[in-house]
Copies of this chain bind each other. A is one copy, B any other.
């Protein structure tokens, strides 16, 4: 059965019932159809946050074999609820574009899913569309100001870094020339489109503490320079009020349900390579307000999503995670051990032993934040006992908890062992979270700390361009912002081909982007894809509506 077929087989409970289970008066929620709702921000209770155990689900360095962080988060949450711990899973919203490309949705898999999956994977409650509108409104206002005679700020179009966004895989929009067609139709300049998830507004929404803070951050968006070299921010164009209005509903977290009828909160979705890769602070706090355990995830491996979750999200919002679940599959570990994708179903103890080094490095990284990791092996049918034993032995030797979780096939039932170990770990010896660096350290110091401590790099090199940008950032007074490294997710290094645990490598900062609205700086290591393309035969060819009006062909 496909994920969609499994999801459709489950009967959905009315969302008011889910709200009640969460502990929210159904009168308070704003419904979007019968099975989705928005939760008003006033429900968040800062006093209750301390009482909730915040659990981060992360993973080893991703491989084409798949790790299943979202599925693990959902399955673990179901298991905790089965054990009588009131738990809410808090996830990112899937991006629409990729649904029509190669893969299907991003709402878990098998018997660990959030539903209605076809709605969540499509427009959901309109958050991405609102972000897209707010982003492109600012772009239109910028080009309008460049065109204007009577209201001109003197923006030099060649310096404008604010592109446009669309939530589709549309490679032809990566680089475009706009403003053609004569004097009435704008000033020609080169620009491009990113996919909506890559918008700085996505990152901004995820870090905002409320509407006022959102507006302040939107006003801080850095746009470019005037011909005189003066920096221009969104506030100089008086754009942040209208942008905030466009986001007034998008800022509210969304409530849906898991297959087992537990509450799930899903809200926004920045990438973890070019941004912070985790859901909104407000969604996480909403979950924590109402739950004993709040299970959340951060994108890609711990070196990207996890590091940023701790150093950016937790530091900026005061959140204190209690444990980290490190998801791995035997298949992925073998891939890190050098096995080809087509041979991953064959048992290969040697490759597991070799690939284990990737997992080890992530474990060490988690421990640097004074947090206890728990290894969760996401079970596949092809896994052999000997292979699993290698991981278990490593864990035992290093006094780390480990559990095999069969949440894909069995839902919460398959995650009970993991859940029990997690509860025991959190209740017996609570972690005391400690960030890795001080935001007020010098800029290059912060970059070096992440590169050395987390990636294991020996040196950090800077391109000529990035050196000039370092100076410019200091001149703008932005050197106190935290670092959001843009690095390939496939390797600890900047080279996606270096699997396992590379050593003796250096990373090169090619350039540094300013995300002054989100409130971080983005050193770029390697080429980052911000606008995917469609494959020759896009998934859209198989997506359809059947005679009953039901969606088919989503996976």
Contact = CB atoms under 8 A, between A and B. Distances in A.
Interface of A: 30-34, 38, 96, 100, 118, 122-123, 126, 129-130, 132-133, 136-137, 139-141, 143-144, 147-151, 166-181, 184-187, 190, 192, 211-212, 215, 238-239, 241-242, 244-246, 248-249, 533-534, 536-538, 540-545, 547, 549, 551, 553
B241 A543 contact: yes
A44 to B, nearest CB: 14
Q: How many copies does the complex hold?
A: 2
Contact of A540 (B176, B181, B239, B537): B239
B123 A133 contact: yes
B133 A147 contact: no
A452 to B, nearest CB: 33
A172 B187 contact: yes
14 contacts: A31-B32, A31-B33, A123-B129, A123-B249, A129-B133, A136-B166, A136-B168, A137-B168, A141-B534, A171-B184, A172-B186, A175-B185, A184-B533, A186-B533
Contacts of A176: 176-180
A147 B172 contact: yes
B180 A147 contact: no
Contact of A172 (B100, B118, B170, B185): B185
A347 B179 CA distance: 45
Nearest to A144: B534
A38 B119 CA distance: 15
Contacts of A171: 143-144, 147, 184-186
Nearest to A238: B541
A192 B186 CA distance: 13
Most buried by B among A238, A242, A248, A553: A242
Contacts of A32: 31-33
The list of the 4 closest CB pairs from A to B, nearest first, reads: A172-B186, A241-B544, A175-B181, A242-B540
A105 B348 CA distance: 65
Nearest to A533: B144
B211 A549 contact: yes
Contacts of A185: 171-172, 174-175, 533
Most buried by B among A31, A176, A239, A544: A176
